Amino acid sequence: MIKFNKYYFLLALLLFAVELYIGLYMHDNFVRPYGGDFLVVILLFCIIKSFVNWPGIPTAAGVLIFAYLVEISQYFHLVTLLGLQHSKTARLLLGTSFSFIDLLCYTLGMATVILVANIRLSMKNF
C-alpha cells in the first residue's frame, strides 16, 4: 500500500511552486481567488498519491471531502473557536472566510483529476 510514486511527487512539487507563486505574486480577481482553490485539491491528491497506492476515485473523493470540511469549518469560524485567530499559520491553513464558490472550485479541481485519469486510462487501452 505504501509506495513512492515519482510522477505524482514531481507533479506535487510543481503544483506547490505554482501555488506559492499565486499566493505571493498574484493580486488579481480571478487566478488568486479561484485558481488557487482549483489547484490546491489537485496538489493534495498528488501528495497523497506520491506516497500511497490507493485507487484514484476514492482518493479524489477523500480529498474533496477534506476540502469541503475545511471550508465548512470556515463557516463556523473554527480558527476563532480554537483560539488561533492570531496565528498566521492557522489562518493560512484553515482559512477564515467561507465561500460556496470555493466549494465549486474544489469540485472542478477533483473533476479535472478524474477526467485526466480517465483519458490516460483510455489511451493506455487504445
pLDDT in tens, 60-81: 999 999 999 999 999 999 999 9
% of the chain at pLDDT higher than 90: 84
Give CA–CA dist 108/114, Å, rounded: 10
pLDDT of 96 above 60: yes
CA atoms within 13 A on the CB side of 112: 16
Element spanning 113, H or E: helix 100-124
At 39 the three-state DSSP class reads helix
pLDDT digits (tens, 9 = 90+) for 98-125: 999 999 999 999 999 999 998 988 887 6
In 23-49, which positions are buried (b, 16+ CB within 10 angstroms) versus exposed (e)?
eeeeeeeeeeebbbbbbbbbbbbbbbb
Give the pLDDT of residue 125.
Answer: 64
92: left (phi over 0), alpha (psi -120 to 50) or beta: alpha
